[in-house]
């Protein structure tokens, strides 16, 4: 085990790796599988963890047929189950075509058939079937604008549901009257199944008018066809609809479990632990400023002989892009935290997305310490934050955390170490 005093960056990375491993589908999925049902079994899914989830299903059940859609670079060997690759966070034609194939696979199933749905974060973009009158290009534009707006994930998903033919319970409706079990890995604050991947197997009580209100609230400009589609209404399935009566939704991994695993590892290393919660939301730089004040307060209260303190938090922060950078809430959080701490001795931090991708960057996040500003220079750090270019700065000073695809996704992981 890495010594938190001897090598703080490596210790923080070990906590992150522990959190990711706790949500690995190969570790957690089998316990939630029933015995393989008799008759026809179809496996479907979407999300950044869906191929790994399908791999875990095959390990437990043996050969199956089906189709899952995952992000480019996240494929796994799944004989018998087609692994379709598509774009995230903005959908592409490959995702749209694969979604139509999935709907065809479900068409005509009967009461004796069984569908296993595997849903994880990323499914909102990877499952792409725009409502009538809205083109893929228009859906892409709306998605990109929502991502840049700073809107919370739940509100973004409200819009996505009402512009889709598969989200908001519509995938379950397509499989009815077959029986369906939907296993989910949560990447949303509160672990609401209706929000995970925009709830393709979960009924939703929101309205098209609420979707229009989100666009207005966050000043997202959309084509007239999108406005007209939302005014007409959508096929989102309300809770209690009989076509959802044969579907069971079950969350099998969530941020709280990963934070608990990291906390156990930190305690085993002799640290005290404070968990701020697994569902924090807000603008990344504002949350970072609040966490800097907390860390400085905790540091000031320390007494000789006190053990190192690890502060953990999860959830999903947002970045309102105003500059030319690519954003990334974890990198922006780290940069804002470093600026707020102003090189305070004995305080180190790491923030990473558990899927290995921070925003649009193929980087999990970043790690900072007392020397971060000196290495970056304060003026450059300020400019980088204003430009939403934290990733560029951390790349220059060698402070990025690069994992590649982790094949799971339980949202952001943040930890502050006070020694």
258-272 residue pLDDT tens = 999 999 999 999 999
d(CA 131, CA 254): 30
pLDDT at position 153 over 90:
no
Candidates 65, 77, 131; CA nearest to 101 is: 65
Residue labelled with tokens 């099998």: 252
CA Rg value for the chain: 22
3 state SS of 221: coil
Please name the helix (run of DSSP H) or strand (run of DSSP E) that holds residue 170, with its range, or none.
helix 170-175
**What average pLDDT does range 293-301 have in this prediction?**
98
pLDDT at position 1 over 70:
no
What confidence tens digit (pLDDT) does each residue in 20-65 have? 999 999 999 999 999 999 999 999 999 999 999 999 999 999 999 9
Mean model confidence pLDDT for the chain: 95
Candidates 276, 359, 366; CA nearest to 315 is: 276
Beta carbons within 10 angstroms of residue 404's beta carbon? 12
Q: Which DSSP string do the residues of 40-65 spell out, in sequence order?
A: -EEEEEESTTHHHHHHHHHHHH---E
Asked whether the beta carbons of 351 and 366 are under 8 A apart, the reply is yes
Asked whether the beta carbons of 332 and 393 are under 8 A apart, the reply is no
Beta carbons within 10 angstroms of residue 270's beta carbon? 12
pLDDT at position 200 over 80:
yes
**What average pLDDT does range 214-237 have in this prediction?**
93
Torsion of CA 229, 235, 238, 244, to 10 degrees: -160
**What average pLDDT does range 400-408 have in this prediction?**
97
pLDDT at residue number 141: 93
pLDDT at residue number 159: 94
**Strand-pair category, 309-318 with 280-283:** parallel
What confidence tens digit (pLDDT) does each residue in 90-127 have? 899 999 999 999 999 999 999 999 999 999 999 999 99
**Residue 269 to residues 10, 14, 310, Cα–Cα distance (Å):** 13, 11, 11
pTM of the model: 0.93
pLDDT at position 277 over 90:
yes
pLDDT at position 300 over 90:
yes
3 state SS of 154: helix
* Domains of the chain: residue spans and CATH: 8-20+256-418 (3.40.1480.10), 26-253 (3.40.50.10180)
Residue 359's pLDDT band, with cuts at 50, 70 and 90, is confident
**Partners of 311 in the β-ladder:** 274, 416
Tokens of 175: 């499989």
d(CA 187, CA 309): 26
Q: Which DSSP string do the residues of 339-391 spell out, in sequence order?
A: HHHTT-TTEEEEEEETTS-BTTBSS-EEEE-TTHHHHH-HHHHHHHHHTT-HH
Name the burial class of residue 416, with classes exposed (0-12), middle (13-18) and buried (19+) by CB atoms within 10 angstroms of its CB. buried
pLDDT at position 2 over 80:
no
pLDDT at residue number 378: 85
**What average pLDDT does range 350-372 have in this prediction?**
95
Candidates 359, 314, 84, 349; CA nearest to 191 is: 314
Name the burial class of residue 63, with classes exposed (0-12), middle (13-18) and buried (19+) by CB atoms within 10 angstroms of its CB. exposed
pLDDT at residue number 325: 86
Candidates 323, 344, 343; CA nearest to 391 is: 323
Residues near 392 by Cβ (< 8 Å), separated by ≥ 6? 325, 384
DSSP 164: B
d(CA 120, CA 103): 18
Residues near 122 by Cβ (< 8 Å), separated by ≥ 6? 46, 47, 48, 49, 50, 70, 71, 88, 89, 187, 197, 355, 409
């Amino acid at each position: 085990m890495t010594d938190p005093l001897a090598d703080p960056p490596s210790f923080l990375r070990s906590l992150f790796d522990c959190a990711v491993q706790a949500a690995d589908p190969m570790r957690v999925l089998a316990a939630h599988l029933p015995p393989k049902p008799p008759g026809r079994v179809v496996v479907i899914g979407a999300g950044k963890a869906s191929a790994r989830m399908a791999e875990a299903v095959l390990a437990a059940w043996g050969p199956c047929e089906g189709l899952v859609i995952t992000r480019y670079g996240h494929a796994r060997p799944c004989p018998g189950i087609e692994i379709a690759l598509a774009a995230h966070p903005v959908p592409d034609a490959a995702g749209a075509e694969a979604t139509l194939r999935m709907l065809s696979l479900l068409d005509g199933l009967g009461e004796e058939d069984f569908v296993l749905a595997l849903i994880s974060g990323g499914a909102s973009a990877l499952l792409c079937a725009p409502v009538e009158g809205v083109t893929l290009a228009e859906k892409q534009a709306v998605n990109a604008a929502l991502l840049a707006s700073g809107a919370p994930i739940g509100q973004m998903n409200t819009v996505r549901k009402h512009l889709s033919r598969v989200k908001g319970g519509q995938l379950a409706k397509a499989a009815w009257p077959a029986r369906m079990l939907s296993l989910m890995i949560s990447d949303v604050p509160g672990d609401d199944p209706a929000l995970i991947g925009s709830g393709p197997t979960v009924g939703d009580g929101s309205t098209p008018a609420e979707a229009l209100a989100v666009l207005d609230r966050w000043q997202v400009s959309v084509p007239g066809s999108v406005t007209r589609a939302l005014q007409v209404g959508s096929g989102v399935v309300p809770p209690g609809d009989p076509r959802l009566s044969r579907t069971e939704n079950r969350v099998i991994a969530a941020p709280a479990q990963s934070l608990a695993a990291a906390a156990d590892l930190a305690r085993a290393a002799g640290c005290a632990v404070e968990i701020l919660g697994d569902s924090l939301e807000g603008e990344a730089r504002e949350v970072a400023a609040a966490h800097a004040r907390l860390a400085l307060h905790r540091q000031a209260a320390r007494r000789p002989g006190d053990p190192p303190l690890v502060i953990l938090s999860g959830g999903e922060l947002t970045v309102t892009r105003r500059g030319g950078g690519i954003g990334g809430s974890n990198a922006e959080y780290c940069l804002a935290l470093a600026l707020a701490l102003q090189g305070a001795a004995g305080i180190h931090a790491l923030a990473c997305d558990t899927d290995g991708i921070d925003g649009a960057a193929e980087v999990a996040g970043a790690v900072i310490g007392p020397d971060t500003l000196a290495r970056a220079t304060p003026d450059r750090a300020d400019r980088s934050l204003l430009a939403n270019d934290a990733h560029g700065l951390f790349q220059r000073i060698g402070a990025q955390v690069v994992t590649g695809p982790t094949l799971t996704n339980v949202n952001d992981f943040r930890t502050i170490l006070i020694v």
